[in-house]
Amino acid sequence: MARRLYVFVTATITVRPGAAFPAVIEKVKDIGYKLVDFDEISRRIVFRAEGSQIATLPLFLKSYASSSVIEVKAAARRVEEVRPPPGSRVVRYSDRLLFYYKCGDDWSVRGEFSRGKLLLKLCRSASLVDPAQMPTSLCTFSLEDAERLDVLIEAARNCFERLANN
């Protein structure tokens, strides 16, 4: 299916009231997270953690975030074809393929393939899900979930590998 999947975590945090916002932005950069967006008025920061940086995320969130939304994703480029596994729910648009694949009792994957790019998201399992109308809450995790980020990452890697080896 894919050449190589790059697993990463996207985090949207609200910085704790007692923390200096510019200092937290600098900390994001110092750790090596990729700063995606920030809003000083709402004290919101969006960043991406990859590879070994993911292990530092729970402590960072505990130290600086009053709330957070976490997404565990994987991406691949130069993908020629995607064949969702049997049993997947598939929706095709003109140039996009969306699919929902249940990879266990607790976990599922929402996939999107368009113009040679593949994006996968780890989600909670649900029944009767249309991949084009999935509630975002199925694929986002909270600050409390960050404490078990290693479990989320392991589940994501297992699900993503099953798809990649299909």
Average pLDDT of the residues in 137-149:
86
What is the pLDDT, as a whole number, of residue 3? 60
Over the stretch 102-137, which tens digit does the pLDDT of each residue have?
887 789 899 888 888 889 999 988 777 777 787 888
pLDDT band at 2 (very low <50, low <70, confident <90, very high): very low
Query: Is 70 exceeded by the pLDDT of residue 166?
Result: no
The sheet carrying 65-76 orders its strands as 34-39, 44-50, 6-15, 65-76, 117-124, 107-114, 96-102, 89-92
CB 121, CB 72: distance < 8 Å:
yes
> Which residues are CB-neighbours of 63 under 8 A, at least 6 positions away?
none
pTM: 0.86
Task: Tell me 94's DSSP state.
Answer: S
Kindly state the tokens that stand for 55.
């292990």
What is the pLDDT, as a whole number, of residue 133? 80
Over the stretch 41-98, which tens digit does the pLDDT of each residue have?
999 999 999 988 999 999 999 999 999 999 999 998 877 777 777 778 888 888 888 8
Where in the chain are the domains? 6-74, 75-139+158-164
Fold of 6-74: Alpha-Beta Plaits (3.30.70)
Q: Nearest to residue 149, comparing CAs of 54, 29, 39? A: 54
**Which H or E element spans position 26?**
helix 21-31
